[in-house]
Amino acid sequence: MKNLLLTIALTLFTLNASANVLDLRSEGYTGRYCVGDTLSYNLDGEFVEKILVSAEGISRDGFIKVYADGNLIHNIGVPGYDPDYTFRVRQSVSNITLKFEETCSRILDMKIFTEGHTSQRDSHSFRGYGVEGWGADVQSIVSEMVQRSLLSGDNLWNNFLKPLQVLAIKYDAVAAVSGEGDIKTAVYALKLAKVIADKEDELLDSSSRRQDMRNVRDLMQIKEDILEAYDVKSRNLEAEIEELSVYL
């Protein structure tokens, strides 16, 4: 318990990484793009965490395919019920390209979130997540799973995805106010890990049937990052949460 409290106290320092936002709207990349058009943006091999695209279709349904260094990483269906599309990349990228298919689309906004890795973070062997990003990443994963109708049956939604989403929102709220190294933040982080761990076997089984491996892998990776950050074993999660809750 003493070691865990020390780990929490050091979290602010060991997991601090700088983040930058590349605003493509301010660089003139918004506007109307039609079938066959491409939007291409070059980066200097930077580590891209995620991309935000705000787009709307014109006249009929179509697609915007997003490529990182020539590899398809996301397929945006337009028009959608929400014009904002956020998706994770988590790799070093030299070029991002959008290709427009079947209809003209209007790009309203686009942002690329890059991350500068400090030597401390690299030596800690984290895989692209950070304390400040766990809640947002979980919400993004849940949104993807629901929008794409993968693993989103009523039972799994009610028993796993919805509680996980609610917990992630609470974690973000607590972390924003209490700080990343606060005990209350740690409790919510460990609760996130426990919810994922409790459904791990079912998720693995479902992903093999529905080819939803990427989302499941990312959730399990977040769980492992939380366990590593707070130096807690998965089997000890419930006990650690109970002990830390005494201090709240």
Binned average pLDDT, 10 residues per bin, the chain of 248 residues:
48 49 93 94 91 84 88 77 73 93 91 63 36 79 70 71 91 78 86 93 72 80 87 90 83
Same domain, 87 and 204: no
83 shares a domain with 42: yes
Is 23 found in the same domain as 10?
A: no
Q: Are residues 138 and 170 in the same domain?
A: yes
Q: Give me the residues paired with residue 103 across strands.
A: none
Give yes or no: residues 75 and 192 share one domain: no
Can you give the pLDDT at residue 61? 78
Whether the predicted model's global pTM rises above the 0.85 cut: no
Last residue of a domain, one of 65, 87, 116: 116
Both 133 and 231 in one domain: the answer is yes
| pLDDT value of position 30 | 92
**Number of neighbours of residue 189 by Cβ within 10 angstroms:** 28
Q: Which of 106, 117, 92, 111 is nearest to 18 (CA)?
A: 117
Domain closes at, from 62, 95, 116: 116
C-alpha pair distances (Å), 25 with each of 21, 28, 52, 111, 112: 12, 5, 11, 8, 11
Q: Buried (b) or exposed (e) across 36-60, using 16+ Cβ within 10 A?
A: eeebebebeeebbbbbbbbbebeee
pLDDT of residue 42: 96
Residues 155 and 35 in one domain: no
Quote the pLDDT of residue 147: 64
Q: Are residues 219 and 139 in the same domain?
A: yes
Answer yes or no: do 10 and 27 share one domain: no
Output the six-digit token pair for 65. 């395919």
User: What's residue 15's pLDDT?
Assistant: 42
Query: Total structural domains in the chain?
Result: 2
Q: Are 230 and 7 in contact (CB under 8 A)?
A: yes
166-214 pLDDT, tens digit each? 999 999 888 877 765 688 888 999 999 999 999 988 888 777 655 577 7
Which of residues 116, 142, 161 is at a domain's end?
116
Q: What CATH number corresponds to the domain at position 80?
A: 2.60.120.260
One domain, residues 132 and 210: yes
* Residue 11 and residue 48 in one domain: no
Q: Are residues 11 and 132 in the same domain?
A: yes
Domain span at 156: 2-17+121-245
Are the C-beta atoms of residues 17 and 7 closer than 8 Å to each other? no
